[in-house]
Amino acid sequence: MQPSFWHEKWASQQIGFHLGEINPLLLKYWDSLSLPSGAQVFVPLCGKSLDLCFLAEQGLDVIGCELNQSAVEQFFSENQLDLEVRQSGEHQCYSTEQITLYQGDLFCLPSELISRVSGFYDRAALIAWPEAMRRQYVQQLAKLLPAGSKGLLITLDYPQETLNGPPFAVSHDWVTANMSEYFEVIPLSTEDVLSENPRFVKKQVPWLTESVYRLTRKG
């Protein structure tokens, strides 16, 4: 998938992937990571998610990376946050007191920018990639995250042939086969969420599950 795909989605506001509330699974499972106040947390492909605000409200320093400039600007304006903007290498850096967002390509993000993170959160990043590119994303995430970092991963799974992604289907078998090299993977929950997703119902997708994993970056 080319960057232009996501830029076009944001330009036309076709952002069904954006959740207009804090993710209930984040609320339910974040505390299981037991991160101390003041810890740094990384959120890849963060968009303008309200989850960023929730994490900051937990006393955490949040670092996000988002490709689209409009998404980053909307996050700060919609949440009425003062910000500073500066150039950081190939990325534009937007920052307020506890939230720093790097606007640009995740695959060009220097690892030193998040070298002190101890937590991470992926709700919409892994499932944003088609299978041909997903392994590359996992490798980049592993490259960026320090050993011992703990995070939550949220995935969706459904018969991929019934619907064009994104979000793309990611099975439990795919997660264990492709992420266990880099992360300790602990499944926390899997729930049937078909009835909560009208787009999938309309397309006659027969089943849809949402899973949560606790990941720890291996050293």
3-class secondary structure for 58-124?
Answer: CCCEEEEEECCHHHHHHHHHHCCCCCEEEEECCEEEEECCCEEEEECCHHHCCHHHHCCEEEEEECC
Pick the more confident residue, 20 or 155: 155
* Domain presence at residue 101: yes
Which residues touch 40 (CB under 8 Å, ≥6 apart)?
60, 61, 62, 63, 114, 116, 117, 118, 119
What residue type is 131 in one-letter code?
Answer: E
* Domain presence at residue 184: yes
Q: What is the pLDDT of residues 29-88, one digit of tens each?
A: 999 999 999 999 999 999 999 999 999 999 999 999 999 999 999 999 999 999 999 999
Number of helical H runs and strand E runs in the chain: 7, 9
Q: Is the pLDDT of residue 14 over 90?
A: no
pTM value?
0.92
Q: Is the pLDDT of residue 3 over 60?
A: no
What residue type is 92 in one-letter code?
Answer: Q
* Domain presence at residue 77: yes
Q: How far is residue 5's CA from residue 187's CA, in Å, rounded to a whole number?
A: 31
Which residues touch 118 (CB under 8 Å, ≥6 apart)?
35, 39, 40, 41, 146, 148, 149, 150
Question: 7: pLDDT confidence band, cut at 50, 70 and 90?
Answer: very low
Q: How far is residue 30's CA from residue 90's CA, in Å, rounded to a whole number?
A: 31
Counting residues of the chain whose pLDDT is more than 70, the rounded percentage is 91
* Domain presence at residue 17: no
Which residues touch 150 (CB under 8 Å, ≥6 apart)?
33, 34, 35, 118, 119, 120, 214, 215, 216, 217
* Domain presence at residue 15: no
Q: What is the pLDDT of residues 116-160, one digit of tens each?
A: 999 999 999 999 999 989 999 999 999 999 999 999 999 999 999
Average pLDDT, the chain: 92
How much is the pLDDT for 20? 75
CATH number at residue 70: 3.40.50.150
Q: Domain of 93?
A: 3-10+22-217
Contact (Cβ atoms closer than 8 angstroms) between residue 44 and residue 125: yes
Q: Is the pLDDT of residue 172 over 90?
A: yes
* Domain presence at residue 63: yes
How much is the pLDDT for 6? 43
Q: How far is residue 25's CA from residue 214's CA, in Å, rounded to a whole number?
A: 12
Q: Is the pLDDT of residue 15 over 50?
A: no
Domain total in the chain: 1
